[in-house]
Amino acid sequence: MFTSIFSHTSKFTEKALGRLSGGLYIITAQKGDVKGAMLASWVAQASLEPLGFTVAVAKDRAIESLMQVGDRFVLNALEEGKHLPLMKHFLKRFPPGADRFAGVNTQTASNGSPILTDALAYMECEVVSRMECSDHWLVYSQVTAGRVSNPEGMTAVHHRKVGTYY
């Protein structure tokens, strides 16, 4: 039962916003010799024709520089029940210059970005537009190609307790 429908207490608001759930994905990109990867859970389909989605990327993430208009990347969907190894790997802090993909099975997408072969699905994408949203960029991308590795698999889901951190 709601405490008050008109409650503006930030603690209640933070908890309410935290109930937004999202799938778990790894964004991978490569531009020249520079590779990047990021765990993402703020992803939503945004268009049907052409196929497109949005992803929120924090302004301080290294991969943000690889997600400018015209850049290409891969969105890898993590599979429920099999997502922890990839999630843990890409949540680790890596020293500058370290290969974020060392020890991870990959193949190269036609757009040049790494595909995580242990992911449930992948989509090759091109950034079409970006919108500034406070501490994040909302990046709209079109999907140019994709594939599912396990037709019976489901995307792993992230449930948060509050809306003030991931």
- Please report the domains of the chain, with CATH numbers, ordered by start residue: 20-147 (2.30.110.10)
Q: Where are the alpha helices (DSSP H) in the chain?
A: 10-17, 84-91
4-60 pLDDT per residue, tens = 455 455 888 888 988 888 999 999 999 999 999 999 999 999 999 999 999 999 999
Tokens of residue 159, six digits: 């449930």
pTM (predicted TM-score): 0.90
Type of residue numbered 108 = T
Model pLDDT, residue 114:
98
Q: How far apart are CA 42 and CA 140, in angstroms?
A: 12
Distance of CA 31 to the CA centre of its chain: 18
Tokens of residue 74, six digits: 């891969």
100-133 pLDDT per residue, tens = 999 999 999 999 999 999 999 999 999 999 999 9
